[in-house]
Amino acid sequence: ALSRRVLLAQPPEGRWLALAATALLAERALAGHAATPIAHLASRLEVPAPELRRALRPLLDSGVLKERRRGDGLQLADAEASLPVGRVLGLYEERRRDVLPNLPPGAAHRLELLRERLACVAQAELGTCTLAELVAPPVEEPSDPGEARGSAPAA
């Protein structure tokens, strides 16, 4: 599960921080917690609460997360199983477009093409992955490829 702590040299980028926070919210929802205080999330993710709040702003603005009375905590707006990981990450990709108009036209065009290609790769790799799949316990892969097919090991 996500309950194990890992020390980070630097805080993660906003969209990854937001994805980690939504995964923790999904995990806690599955454990029966209605809402989670932002201070608790910030402590678990080892980032200052104001930084986490800034990182979560796109999720709050879009309605993916909802905040119970300020200070009471955050929760996922929909069932944790239904939220695609791509939707979380996609909200941050849209915000990054704001920097392109400030670049020279050639650079802006090439960066936009690169951004589109990266988005296609991300979508192809993520597929329909949801938060529920993200927080599910790992499935052990068989060490012998023959086991996966159900065949008996060679003697």
Mean pLDDT of 91-107: 70
Token reading at 86: 């791509």
pLDDT greater than 90 at residue 21: yes
pLDDT greater than 60 at residue 113: yes
DSSP letter at 65 equals E
CA atoms within a 13 Å half-sphere pointing along the CA-CB vector of 76 = 28
CA distance 59 to 65: 5
What is the SS3 assignment for 63?
coil
CA distance 77 to 105: 39
pLDDT grade for 106, boundaries at 50, 70 and 90: confident
CA distance 18 to 134: 14
Mean pLDDT of 67-86: 80
